[in-house]
Amino acid sequence: MTETSLSNAARGMAGEPIISVEGLTKRYGDLTAVDDVSFTVQRGEVFGMLGPNGAGKTTTIEILEGMRDADSGKAFVGGIDVQRDPKKVKSIIGVQLQSSAFFDYLSVSETIKLYGELYGEKVDVDAILEQVELTDRSKAYFKQLSGGQKQRMSIAVALVNRPQVLFLDEPTTALDPQARRHMWELIQRIQSTGTTIMLTTHYMEEAEELCDRVAIMDRGRIVQMDTPDALIEDLLATGFKAVREVKPATLEDVFINLTGRSLRED
């Protein structure tokens, strides 16, 4: 699959792509999970990987993270060959997983310090907590955090080594609408610092709001890739008509308007 044209934002980003993938293939017996996948991600982009369960997006990202070997193809992150030097790749990326396990009886600040030591980094704990808006929970145990706070804690840990690329796996799953919108704002703030973000999500509204470009995967292949707006325009050009009327507001908007737009977690 060859790459489609980049968004205007991506075209304006100088230098080589921070992620480059060419002909990536991964098989499990008779199943080809990733089938000759090629794409690039520009510095500073939020790049979304979308697709149904089993499409191959998680396997693709695990290869980029140095967690899984490809059978063939090439993958570079920050100019580093992922296959040849996965340890070096891990030093320049941050990974937030959909389900993260932390020590229940370590405080938030103690956990961040611990991960800093594991990375060999001198960590400004207060600055990281402020960035993810957990300053007031610094002394709380992980088990005492709400769902949204746990997700932000996971991102805080992923930022410990000041990553060039941040991988986010379903960052708003199981969050209420208020916490989801708050997470969107956090992701946008992280992007504004120059960090490249690679995002997987099943929420199409989320991808449309956050992503500069998206790659849609199915059965191990990228079937389409472009900006969200361009993909929608291409669909409309075929004569597509939505079955449901598009309203200027959603039930989620009603929920947030009634409960308050500022974050409020019990």
- For residue 229, the model assigns a pLDDT of 96
**Residue 11 reports pLDDT greater than 50:** no
- For residue 109, the model assigns a pLDDT of 96
The pairing of beta strand 196-200 with beta strand 165-169: parallel
The structural domains of the chain, with segments of one domain joined by +, span 1-92+165-173+195-266, 95-162
Fold classified for 1-92+165-173+195-266: Rossmann fold (3.40.50)
| Structure confidence at residue 58 as a pLDDT band (50, 70, 90) | very high
**Residue 100 reports pLDDT greater than 80:** no
**Residue 189 reports pLDDT greater than 80:** yes
Rounded distance between C-alpha atoms, residue 94 and residue 91, angstroms: 8
Calculate the dihedral angle through the C-alpha atoms of 171, 174, 180, 186, rounding to the nearest 10 degrees.
-30
Least confident of 4-13, 14-23, 113-122, 255-264: 4-13
**Residue 76 reports pLDDT greater than 90:** yes
DSSP 3-state of 216: strand
Q: Which residues contact 172 (CB under 8 A, 6 or more apart)?
A: 151, 179, 180, 183, 184, 201, 203, 206
* Residues forming a β-bridge with 21: 39, 75
**Residue 169 reports pLDDT greater than 70:** yes
**Residue 96 reports pLDDT greater than 70:** yes
Q: Which residue has the higher pLDDT, 87 or 174?
A: 87
- For residue 12, the model assigns a pLDDT of 42
Average pLDDT rounded to a whole number, residues 113-119: 91
The pair phi, psi for residue 80, each rounded to 5°, is -100, 130
pTM score = 0.88
